[in-house]
Amino acid sequence: MRHRESRLSRSISTTRSTMLGSMMDVPMNVIQIIERASRHHGSTEIVSARSHGEEAHRYTYAEAYQRVCQLGKALRALGLEPGDRVGTLAWNSHAHLEVYYATAGLGLVCHTLNPRFSAVDLEWIINHAEDQVLIVDIDFLPLVKDLLPRLETIRQVIVIDSQLAPAADRIPDALDYEALLATESSSSPDWATVDEHQPCGLCYTSGTTGMPKGVTYTHRSTTLHAYASSLPDSFALSAQDAVMPIVPMFHVNAWGLPYSLPLVGAKIVLPGRALDGESLFQLMEAEQVTMAAGVPTVWLGILEHLNQKSRTFSSLKRTVIGGSAAPESMIRTIESTHKVSVVHAWGMTEISPTGAVNTPTRALRQTDEELSLSLKKKQGRAIPGIDIRIEKADGTTLPWDGSSPGHLLVRGPWVVQQYTGGVVGARSDGWFDTGDIATVDTQGFIHIVDRSKDVIKSGGEWISSIALESTACEHPGVFEAAVIGLPHPKWMERPLLICVPRPNSSLSPRELRDFLAERLPKWWLPDAIELVDSLPHGATGKLLKTELRQQFSHYSLAPADNERTAGGVL
């Protein structure tokens, strides 16, 4: 017995001593991504559109890294220390990319600020984050000038392209970005030694349902997200691509592309401030872009331009669309008319942001065109590293049957644990409630039915505002559509459809109603349809339903219509 015990304890202690494994413990650090890109893809280009009548800025990864080194030394000379936050108010540009990396290399936190947030929110966010330095594009100087007296922790403003700023917009004591870099050599600084769990990025949610909340990304979460989102069944990024992130670098790090593109060595094409359909199309053609990434609103503009000018793409092969649901009509036009493959993706600020990407499995590739189109409406399968679950309001897990909608929960190494200031993020059981309602089918394809606060609860059943909007957009006379729920005495809530007609269309509510009646269950039909000139969009291009609800708060659904159309199950 004694003999057996000693053998057992020997084997346990041997196991313990080898528990850590025998692999190198190299911490993940974001600066390594650009450093490696400069060595392995040194001649690959980064092109940055300039918006003040100048030619695009063009340089290579090797040159980009040299400037990252210069910026790193300059920021250190300003007295910034690891952990300090550097705010940015900037478009997608090479300078913004340099800030992403120089801050990471020094152990600073790059805090991308969304210039489309209200001034009140921005003031609150900058003070809350305790940003020390602000790096700004000249377009945002009037905004910063106005905010500056109320920003408690900012000790230096640095201006990109300051010489182009109108005299009235200039900020006394602001430093010029180029002049700052010029003071430093391009040799590699001693980058900070950072633990991979330390933060490198910070982004605030838009706060449509309360105060904005800050999410800090770590070197580890950012690097892992970059790997996972580059995979073939994610964004399928490679050194053969020329990629245009249209999604702003101030909105969840442009879906992580500023990290994943240098990781794989793809050519980067940054559109700057000109986000209209014509400018984007021209830049894509000039730089032979093979992949673009942007929200559906941006695609509305591009498709309108192509339609008006009877143009199409010569190099674009695929486009990732996410941020809000891509309507089926949009997917169909991009795929059928322009022969560009749509990759629908889902994510959120709290997930760095990519959670799911819609790429077909081998079996699904064989399906016919119509089926594949209806599959593309779904937001796809959780990317490796992300675990998902759907549950009822009472916490019961729902099956993956493609027809049981429930609260979508996620967990994984790039999902928020807690917001800045210790605000609770994930639940105590380790899952994060996304606030989205979704179904998951037998193959794991997620279909986002709605935001839980936007879904219309009619007579105890749910009507998906996303599905209604997408069907309305199928009508050739509809440019954009939004659906909100309005209170109803009998059914609790009923849908109101608000549409922007296409220019020169003679769309009438009755015609649209008949069109929807052919495609939707009777009880889903909106109780009223309003035609408007434009719809409000939030800071990230999403429909601002809070504003629509306010705008239509006194709207009354005609009782006769209610009786005629409503058929929810009580």
**Residues assigned a catalytic role:** 205, 350, 457, 462
By the rule CB under 6 A, 359 interacts with ligand AMP? no
Pick one of 379, 439, 458, 565: the residue that binds ligand AMP (CB under 6 A): 379
Contact, 437 vs 450, CB < 8 A? yes
Least gap, CB of 541 to ligand AMP (angstroms): 9
Least gap, CB of 435 to ligand AMP (angstroms): 6
DSSP-assigned beta bridge partners for residue 523: none
Scan for tokens 């918006």, then name that residue: 51
By the rule CB under 6 A, 66 interacts with ligand AMP? no
Sheet with 156-160, strands from edge to edge, namely 175-176, 156-160, 131-137, 85-89, 109-112, 199-204, 214-218
Least gap, CB of 473 to ligand AMP (angstroms): 14
**Residue 521 burial by CB count (10 A; 0-12/13-18/19+): exposed, middle or buried?**
exposed
Contact, 424 vs 430, CB < 8 A? no
* Residue with smaller CB distance to ligand AMP, 184 or 469: 469
Cβ-defined contacts of 562-567 (< 8 Å, 24+): 562/488, 562/490, 562/491, 562/494, 562/527, 565/494, 565/522, 565/523, 565/525, 565/526, 565/527, 566/458, 566/459, 566/488, 566/490, 566/491, 566/494, 566/523, 566/527, 567/459, 567/521, 567/522, 567/523
* Residue with smaller CB distance to ligand AMP, 346 or 431: 346
String of DSSP letters for 476-522:
TTEEEEEEEEEEETTTEEEEEEEEEEPTT----HHHHHHHHHTTS-G
Site string for ligand AMP, 412-451 (x = CB under 6 A): ----------------------xxx-----------x--x
Residue span binding ligand AMP (CB under 6 A) among the ranges 16-24, 340-348, 416-424, 489-497? 340-348
C-beta neighbour count of 332 within 10 angstroms = 17
By the rule CB under 6 A, 353 interacts with ligand AMP? yes
Pick one of 92, 349, 359, 439: the residue that binds ligand AMP (CB under 6 A): 349
Residue span binding ligand AMP (CB under 6 A) among the ranges 17-25, 306-314, 343-351, 364-372? 343-351
Give the Cα-Cα-Cα angle 269, 272, 274 (nearest 5 degrees).
115
Pick one of 212, 322, 485, 501: the residue that binds ligand AMP (CB under 6 A): 322
Contact, 295 vs 542, CB < 8 A? yes
Residue span binding ligand AMP (CB under 6 A) among the ranges 169-177, 317-325, 470-478, 501-509? 317-325
**Angle, helix 277-286 to helix 296-309, in steps of 10 degrees:** 80
Q: Which of residues 473-502 bind ligand AMP (CB under 6 A)?
A: none
* Residue with smaller CB distance to ligand AMP, 67 or 344: 344
Residue span binding ligand AMP (CB under 6 A) among the ranges 190-198, 270-278, 320-328, 553-561? 320-328
DSSP-assigned beta bridge partners for residue 456: 463
* Residue with smaller CB distance to ligand AMP, 34 or 497: 497
Pick one of 112, 198, 324, 565: the residue that binds ligand AMP (CB under 6 A): 324
Contacts of 561 (CB under 8 A, 6+ apart): 527, 528
By the rule CB under 6 A, 344 interacts with ligand AMP? yes
* Residue with smaller CB distance to ligand AMP, 438 or 566: 438
C-beta neighbour count of 14 within 10 angstroms = 10
Contacts of 6 (CB under 8 A, 6+ apart): none
Pick one of 44, 66, 234, 540: the residue that binds ligand AMP (CB under 6 A): 540
Rounded CA gap, 479 and 486, in Å? 23
* Residue with smaller CB distance to ligand AMP, 36 or 389: 389
By the rule CB under 6 A, 323 interacts with ligand AMP? yes
Least gap, CB of 454 to ligand AMP (angstroms): 8
Pick one of 325, 499, 507, 525: the residue that binds ligand AMP (CB under 6 A): 325
Site string for ligand AMP, 189-208 (x = CB under 6 A): ----------------xx--
Least gap, CB of 243 to ligand AMP (angstroms): 19
Scan for tokens 């559509």, then name that residue: 481
C-beta neighbour count of 505 within 10 angstroms = 14
Size of residue set near ligand AMP by CB under 6 A: 21
Contacts of 15 (CB under 8 A, 6+ apart): none
Least gap, CB of 307 to ligand AMP (angstroms): 23
Site string for ligand AMP, 246-285 (x = CB under 6 A): ------x---------------------------------
Least gap, CB of 189 to ligand AMP (angstroms): 33
Least gap, CB of 450 to ligand AMP (angstroms): 8
Residue in 236, 221, 224, 226 with CA at minimum distance from that of residue 263: 226
Contact, 433 vs 418, CB < 8 A? no
Enter the DSSP assignment of 111. Answer: E
Scan for tokens 């503009």, then name that residue: 301
Contacts of 126 (CB under 8 A, 6+ apart): 87, 113, 134, 147, 151, 153, 154
Least gap, CB of 370 to ligand AMP (angstroms): 21
Residue span binding ligand AMP (CB under 6 A) among the ranges 30-38, 175-183, 338-346, 418-426? 338-346
Pick one of 346, 414, 432, 445: the residue that binds ligand AMP (CB under 6 A): 346
Report the SS3 class of residue 133.
strand
Least gap, CB of 451 to ligand AMP (angstroms): 5
* Residue with smaller CB distance to ligand AMP, 332 or 513: 332
Binding site for ligand AMP (CB under 6 A): 205-206, 252, 322-325, 344-349, 353, 379, 434-436, 448, 451, 540
